[in-house]
Structure 1
């Protein structure tokens, strides 16, 4: 019983201290200076001005003229070492789904995809070193479709 009474008295004492502390904080805040006035927001339609002085930015990059075959080559040559590895060639061959689906079940297994791509890579790799040079890669270019004459719409 003694412990219960002491517990209640200790709780009341802590509550009283808390109330006095809370009142003291309120008194301090009442005497605090007013908040600083923030400047008005700038007009979003007005452009900022700055004086760069004699500073100059970096020169813009130069446009290099790449031929059609070089552009196609660099789409495959991801690390720009002018050699296409087997992995680089395989990484971009996902767009020919319908031609790769040999059994026509609209499910492309890895085997169906890899066999066609590996065969194409092996056919282009004339020297058999596992790498395509720009000349070897040029042999893999798709053949242009023959141009059809428009039908007469009379």
Structure 2
């Protein structure tokens, strides 16, 4: 019974300590404001190497870069035509005869070519050996170059 009482008391002490720490970190010091741009520019001039200024990373976010790729006329708006331009290019690649329509053969041209390349005897069907040549070739992922782990000493 004494063990249970000790466990309850220790649990309450841990919860109290957690609340105390949470409140103390919530009302902690305010972080300093960011440095003014002039100070940052002065630091950048000091960091110049012998070959000139160090390269700077792009300040655009990933989403801003994606937006800029679509916004061809740089008017800060993406029109429907700009948004669909990549799809039009893909469609034009598939539309072999340029009639503005995709037939099944135009749409499935890669698969048709793959079948024709695998059908070595030109029989119009693939046997097991020919079919095996159509398998997707996957490359093995490179293993991470981690240093080998040493076994802990048994003497410790």
Q: Structure 2 length as normaliser, TM-score?
A: 0.27
Higher relative contact order (CA 8 A, sep 6+): 1
Larger CA Rg, structure 1 vs 2: 1
Q: Structure 1 length as normaliser, TM-score?
A: 0.27
